[in-house]
Amino acid sequence: MKLVLDAMGGDHAPTETVAGAVDYARRSGHTVILTGLEDIIQAELAQHDIAGLDLVVVHASESIGMDEKPAMAARRKRDNSMAVGMRLVKAGEADAFCTVGHTGGALTAGHMVFRRIPGVHRAVLTTPFPCAKGLFILGDIGANPDCKPEWLAQWGQMLAIYAQARLGKEQPKVALLSNGEEEGKGKELTRATEPLLAELLGEAYIGVVEPKEMIAGAADVIVTDGFTGNIVIKLAEAIASYLMQVIKAEIMARPVAKIGAALARPAFKAAGARLDDREYGAGLLLGLNGIVTVGHGRSRRDRVYFALRNTAQLVEANMLERVRTEVAASVRR
Amino acid sequence: MKLVLDAMGGDHAPTETVAGAVDYARRSGHTVILTGLEDIIQAELAQHDIAGLDLVVVHASESIGMDEKPAMAARRKRDNSMAVGMRLVKAGEADAFCTVGHTGGALTAGHMVFRRIPGVHRAVLTTPFPCAKGLFILGDIGANPDCKPEWLAQWGQMLAIYAQARLGKEQPKVALLSNGEEEGKGKELTRATEPLLAELLGEAYIGVVEPKEMIAGAADVIVTDGFTGNIVIKLAEAIASYLMQVIKAEIMARPVAKIGAALARPAFKAAGARLDDREYGAGLLLGLNGIVTVGHGRSRRDRVYFALRNTAQLVEANMLERVRTEVAASVRR
């Protein structure tokens, strides 16, 4: 297995990206190819004991900064660390590409280098998301704010294959996010998508779900447009952090409650760990003719490690070939 | 002040609706007109000491059940308790109408009885929502899943007047919910709405906000389409309840943490009270030519009380006339 990591991507690159890659190479025995400014990456590698590890540096003279306009930067800087890494995958010199850099940059570079799998309407950005039953796959979470029904239906099909590879669900249940099943609920897009999903997925499609059912774990895959999906992940994070802030403020205002909270700390930590997205690793840009995973921009070495591990999982599951085959079969039907 | 309450609406009608009305009549000295099945309402009133209170019962032979298709029921049952109550307001026999019954029913009956204020594109369903700085006004939260830019812009204008009346903000800041300001963010609808809001509201419009900024309290009014708004309120509720459930489960699994949590209980209760929507009372269906407020279907007497009190606040602020004047002035411009 050979994975490419964009060493220059993310808020804490290259120190944390390189450290995560070293850790992953050690624990997996896989090859990790680091793309970016060679001198800088080598200087970071010199901080680690890398004897016997399969770490390769491939020079890229440019990179896409977290504060740049990503699409423009990806187009202008042809030798950026993302495009250089993706071209290695395209040339067959590596199996998959991973970055914790700019999602928009990965989107543009990914389309430029890999193009879409034949028959795929649009690539979908997707991530595992926590719920009462573990994780489910949510997509689109931001690549396509305005969508057509047939895109969403096809994403249901592709995300089911991803859920098999990523969550180990043999027969994933697929649902469409809406605001209710009753008369007058849903919007034009969801109403037009429903019959297409039912036709394409048969019994694997379980219908529309509300946010409450989504969080309860009613489905393994939840399809939505990229505007709604992006609002969902951002709102969930905002609500959770606001709630914890309110609880903390009320505890700090009460001396006895402070003692109580100290005793309950292990429970709070365990709850935090269940909700933490560290181990979800990376989201996936699905529908491109190559595996492109995108982790959180704030990733430190442990998250970079998980991002690489999740990327390897998709290669091992032969996910891309299965998506190609399924899509081709549907197009022929 | 005379308010009409739909005695038959909500999961706990008529026991809790009547009890809330009695409480409100006692504490406010206002008249409350209860619409619904007269015998049943009178039997409920007989459970209370109502001497000296201004409570009136107006018979309505039908009602819209919580499990009915609301639009159809509102059209078929012309003598339903919502329509009967609204007609009293329209005839000038009362100042405003309040229900904790079916939102869809109130929407349909409201449009049938009051019609829209001249110049209003679409009525908007809106609610106060908690954030780090108190409350803000969010709308549309479900009346219009598919929207046009000019509707959203006008809602910004109308909701600012509502925020003045409801939150006492003299110069409310209005924002548009989006998934980011950067290149490639937003959707067609939000991009087309932005210039319209800027033109209509001038400096009162502060631009787009992300969910994080919304929860931080960046604006007093946040405008969005009814699909997104409905997902937002439902997801916020689902996330908050899931989070509490996870924390509780981790505490219960640890004897020491259980003792700690018992000591911290007052802090948890205070946090709960800050987030509880009891006192927000009722949402408002704004844009109709009459005041129609809609409280939570699960409301018990205390929430019914707050729903009536918030309704009275809008009458006292002369909100409807101010909306009529503003809309008329914009249409002329």
Walk me through the domains of chain B, giving residue ranges and CATH numbers: 1-120+287-333 (3.40.718.10), 122-278 (3.40.718.10)
Among chain B residues, the shortest Cα distance to A69 is held by B183
Element (H, E) at B31: strand B31-36
CA distance B80 to chain A (A): 19
**What was the pLDDT predicted at A56?**
97
Among chain A residues, the shortest Cα distance to B226 is held by A187
Among chain A residues, the shortest Cα distance to B258 is held by A264
Read off the pLDDT of each residue in A7-24 and give the average, rounded to a whole number. Answer: 96
Cβ-nearest to A231 among B104, B211, B249: B211
A273 and chain B in contact, CB less than 8 A: no
Judged by CB atoms closer than 8 Å, whether chains meet at B263 and A263 is answered as yes
**What was the pLDDT predicted at B99?**
96
Strand partners, A2: A31
**What was the pLDDT predicted at B42?**
97
CA distance A234 to chain B (A): 6
C-alpha distances out from residue B324 to A6, B320, B321, Å: 57, 6, 5
**What was the pLDDT predicted at A230?**
92
Read off the pLDDT of each residue in A150-171 and give the average, rounded to a whole number. Answer: 94
A267 has a pLDDT exceeding 60: yes
Mean pLDDT over each residue of chain A, to the nearest integer: 92
Say what the ipTM of the complex is.
0.91
Read off the pLDDT of each residue in A113-119 and give the average, rounded to a whole number. Answer: 96
B184 and chain A in contact, CB less than 8 A: yes
Pairing verdict, β B134-139 and B221-223:
parallel
Judged by CB atoms closer than 8 Å, whether chains meet at B271 and A257 is answered as no
A271 has a pLDDT exceeding 90: no
**What was the pLDDT predicted at B325?**
95
Q: Which of A73-77, A98-102, B273-277 shows the lowest per-residue confidence on average (mean pLDDT)? A: B273-277
Instruction: Please give the share of chain A, as a percent, with pLDDT higher than 90.
Output: 71
**What was the pLDDT predicted at B333?**
67
Q: Which residues of chain B register pLDDT less than 70? A: 66, 183-184, 276-281, 333
Read off the pLDDT of each residue in A57-70 and give the average, rounded to a whole number. Answer: 83
> What is the rounded distance in angstroms from the CA atom of residue A25 to the CA atom of residue A7?
14
B214 and chain A in contact, CB less than 8 A: yes
**What was the pLDDT predicted at A119?**
95
> What is the rounded distance in angstroms from the CA atom of residue A5 to the CA atom of residue A24?
11
Phi, psi of A115 (to 5 degrees): 55, 175
Pairing verdict, β A174-177 and A205-209:
parallel
> What is the rounded distance in angstroms from the CA atom of residue B49 to the CA atom of residue B55?
11
**What was the pLDDT predicted at B291?**
97
Cβ-nearest to A257 among B253, B259, B266: B266
Judged by CB atoms closer than 8 Å, whether chains meet at A183 and B70 is answered as yes
Residues of A in contact with B245 (CB under 8 A): 132
**What was the pLDDT predicted at A278?**
57
pLDDT digits (tens, 9 = 90+) for B166-222: 898 999 999 999 988 776 689 999 999 999 999 999 999 999 999 999 999 999 999
**What was the pLDDT predicted at A7?**
97
Judged by CB atoms closer than 8 Å, whether chains meet at B145 and A183 is answered as no
**What was the pLDDT predicted at A63?**
82
Asked if residue B140 has a cis previous peptide bond (ω within 30° of 0), the answer is yes
> What is the rounded distance in angstroms from the CA atom of residue A156 to the CA atom of residue A162?
10
